[in-house]
Structure 1
Amino acid sequence: MALTPYDLDNVRAIWKKVRSNTAHFGGEALERTFLSFPSTKTYFPYFDLSPGSAQVLAQGRKLLIQSFLVTLSSKYPEDFSPAVRTSMDKFLTSVSNELTSKYC
């Protein structure tokens, strides 16, 4: 699943809006994960899991791609078209695959 130049343009355009709030969006996406999949809370037994907690915000960078995409689409509905979502999904999957290949 290669990123086309069109995909890269989409990723760059939405990322310009996202980059100044990555910690906040990451934390919100992690909160969504806890709401959607309550059993995931067991992996964070020592965390303050209340909304907006510093621990959740710090951990927000390590989250599920789908939760992150939902968060972005809720923050930028006018910019997050199906094409942009597909491009971001390709991009984040590529990043995830690359990281997995290095550490697994």
Structure 2
Amino acid sequence: MLSDKEKKMILDICNRLTPIAATIGADALNRLFIVYPGAKTYFSHLDISPRSTHLRSHGEKIILAIVEAAQDISQLTETLATLQTLHAYTLRIDPGKFKLFSHCLLITLACYLQDDFTEVAHAAMDKYLSAFVAVLAEKYR
């Protein structure tokens, strides 16, 4: 699926995201809510206005989970087991929303990383996020 070169590129990108996880995550979530307002229904109990504490906190959690899973991509199923169960059985999030979020995240990465987010980096992150989303949605089958 991912070459060693792509895995290294993904790790490099993820290492850059860790210090700004709240900002990147909040920006990607905000994009999701603007483009796909139906996604807001899962957050009705939180203040998800731009730059809100709740939006930044949840965005950070998402980015840090993506970063953690990137540390050993071959172990995605094991790494995401708890999140799979939480999202499928407790939160009951529509798994289609995960893919929509990943697209919004790619746009956010392009904005923040600019010239460093080359076509090759974009393709590698897209492959990784597609695998991440697929594993996260496995419990729905």
TM-score range, shorter chain: 0.7 to 0.9
> How far is 1:49 from its partner?
2.3
Aligned residue for 1:50, secondary structure, equals coil
Greater RCO (CA < 8 Å, at least 6 residues apart): 1
> How far is 1:17 from its partner?
1.2
**RMSD of aligned residue pairs (Cα, Å):** 1.7
Aligned residue for 1:51, secondary structure, equals coil
> How far is 1:77 from its partner?
0.7
Aligned residue for 2:50, secondary structure, equals coil
Alignment of 1:69-84 (within 5 A): 69-84=106-121
User: Which residue of 2 is the match for residue 21 of structure 1?
Assistant: 20
Instruction: Return the TM-score normalized by structure 1.
Output: 0.85
Tell me the alpha carbon deviations over residues 38-74 of structure 1, each in whole angstroms, 9 at most, x when there is no partner: 2322332222122111111222228610111111110
Contact 1:14 1:79 in 2 (8 A): no
Instruction: Return the TM-score normalized by structure 2.
Output: 0.65
Alignment of 1:49-88 (within 5 A): 49-60=48-59, 61=62, 64-88=101-125
Evaluate the alpha carbon distance shift between residue 5 and residue 68 of structure 1 in structure 2; reply closer, same or farther with a 3 A threshold.
same
Runs of 4+ in 1 over 6 A off after TM superposition: none
Return 5+ residue gaps in structure 1 as ranges.
none
Tell me which protein shows more helix as a share of its residues.
2
Aligned-residue identity in percent = 27
Return 5+ residue gaps in structure 2 as ranges.
64-97
